[in-house]
Structure 1
Amino acid sequence: MSLQFSVLASGSTGNSFYLETEDHAFLVDAGLSGKAMEGLMSQIGKKLDQLDGIFVTHEHSDHIKGLGVLARKYKLPIYANEKTWKAMENMIGTVHSDQKFIFPMEAVKSFGSLDIESFGVSHDAAEPMFYVFHYGGRKLALMTDTGYVSDRMKGIIRSANAFVFESNHDVGMLQMGRYPWNIKRRILSDVGHVSNEDAALAMTDVIGDQTSRIYLAHLSQDNNMKDLARMSVKQTLASKGFVTGETFELYDTDPKIPTPLVAI
């Protein structure tokens, strides 16, 4: 029993994540246009009409831009918590009531042998939450868009076989960059985004013996670079005794190019 997944797109211009089991296939978020989402799926050899639904993390446009279009075109169920539904209803257009499902925070929903666990994060949205997927003894943790990683979050995602982990910005680049101060302050705040170094420090508390893959996600196009993020995370991990390439590998994500479909 394998759990397959791909980070279809990750970054401030749009986010989406695909996963499948032998019996089900889902998206988490649809933050690009419907046409772009179709293109991303085709790059991994999949089609949107094969989906069983879409899970929503929060109502920011880079996570829901194509949500309404896909729901209407493919008659897909959408799962989100109540506050997120209220925040995004006017943003996604009309969605039929029988496609709307409430997925509370700190809850578990089961689809056959796939258990999906929701958990809250710290971000400036109505009630942002991310997901851990449990299947066949495997665990996949997806967490971006949080200003910090609390002990509670760490406890939920700890010892996953694979992580999709926010590594949004380099603090120096952000501080010296072109963003106005109010935006910089928001990104650096407890309801903003996690930096490369803070991401790595959090990883040292959650990497387990079975962890094999860590994807660095939601990189800022203005305040980060893939090589810089990878180097910073590797160095911080190494300083705590975690050597990349021994039991786990680091992988990049991209705003426009999906990661290869892999199984854990």
Structure 2
Amino acid sequence: MVFNFSVLASGSTGNSLYIETEQQRLLIDCGLSGKKMIELLEQIGRRPEDIDGILVTHEHSDHIKGLGIFARRFHTPVYANRRTWQAMSSVVGDIPTEQKFEFAANTTKAFGSLDIESFSVSHDAADPMFYLVRDQDKQLTIATDLGYVSEHIKGLIRDSDAYIMEANHDTEMLMMGRYPWSVKRRILGDTGHISNEESGLALTEVFGNRTKKIYLAHLSKDNNMKELARMSVGQRLESIGLKLGREVGLYDTDPDHATSLTAI
């Protein structure tokens, strides 16, 4: 059974995830230029014309920047919920009707052997949602752009084989940084982003026996560092007795370089 993924890019400047099985090759978000998306796929030995669909989480530019160009050039089907389609239509431009599909929040859709469940999150977008991807007994969680991690989400994503989890900012770096207070308040609020500490705490509550891989995602280029995120989250995981590098792998993501294509 083939079930592989690569975080093509993750951060404040652009986000995209690649998933493949023997039957399907999918992107979740397309938040970099069309040229950069092609380059990132080349980094993992994949071709843009082979992508079977793009699933959109929400309309913020770091998630849809290259969507319209990519979809038109490669005739790729695009899936988003109704309010996200409405919110992003003026940004992505004209996408042929036959390539536009609705994927409602809090529903499950089949893509070949994959069952992909969308779940609503608290974030300042029209109708933001992220995804739980299942292939038989394997499960991958994609959860970034979280104002907070609700008990409902924790229950839904518990005991996934792999997590792509937001660790957006170090709170002290954010508070001491150059952002105006209005932006800081937005990031810290219930419709903003979660911190390293909040990410680590949530992961201790959803970690299960089959969890083997955690990727820290959507790091702020101004208010975080990979080493700091890894240390903060790692300390939380170790506090519940986990042995990093042995029982679970804790990995970085990057805004410009794809992670290695990895099996679930």
TM-score bin (small chain) = over 0.9
C-alpha distance in 1, partners of 2:238/2:250? 13
**Letter in structure 1 aligned against 2:88:** M
Alignment partner, residue 72 of structure 2: 72
SS of aligned partner of 1:254: coil
Alignment partner, residue 173 of structure 2: 173
**Letter in structure 2 aligned against 1:251:** Y
Deviation at 1:26, TM superposition (A): 0.3
CA contact (8 A) 1:67 1:92 kept: yes
**Letter in structure 2 aligned against 1:60:** H
**Letter in structure 2 aligned against 1:12:** S
C-alpha distance in 1, partners of 2:183/2:202? 24
Deviation at 1:241, TM superposition (A): 2.9
**Letter in structure 1 aligned against 2:199:** A
Deviation at 1:235, TM superposition (A): 1.0
Aligned Cα RMSD in Å? 0.8
C-alpha distance in 1, partners of 2:237/2:201? 7
SS of aligned partner of 1:257: coil
C-alpha distance in 1, partners of 2:242/2:188? 26
Q: Where in structure 2 are the equivalents of 1:1-264 lying within 5 Å?
A: 1-264=1-264
C-alpha distance in 2, partners of 1:239/1:211? 16
C-alpha distance in 1, partners of 2:246/2:199? 19
**Letter in structure 1 aligned against 2:63:** H
C-alpha distance in 2, partners of 1:24/1:232? 35
Higher mean displacement: 209-218 or 243-252: 243-252
**Letter in structure 1 aligned against 2:28:** V
Deviation at 1:236, TM superposition (A): 1.7
**Letter in structure 2 aligned against 1:250:** L
CA contact (8 A) 2:169 2:196 kept: yes
TM-score norm. by structure 2 comes to: 0.99
TM-score norm. by structure 1 comes to: 0.99
Higher mean displacement: 86-95 or 232-241: 232-241
C-alpha distance in 2, partners of 1:69/1:78? 12
Alignment deviations for residues 67-111 of structure 1 (CA, whole Å, 9 cap, x no partner): 000110011110000000000001100011111100000100012
Q: Which runs of 5+ in 1 are unaligned?
A: none
C-alpha distance in 2, partners of 1:117/1:196? 25
Deviation at 1:2, TM superposition (A): 2.6
Q: Which runs of 5+ in 2 are unaligned?
A: none
Deviation at 1:155, TM superposition (A): 1.1
C-alpha distance in 2, partners of 1:205/1:167? 15
C-alpha distance in 1, partners of 2:4/2:234? 25
CA contact (8 A) 1:234 1:243 kept: no
CA contact (8 A) 2:242 2:248 kept: no
**Letter in structure 2 aligned against 1:249:** G
SS of aligned partner of 1:142: strand
**Letter in structure 2 aligned against 1:3:** F
C-alpha distance in 2, partners of 1:87/1:243? 43
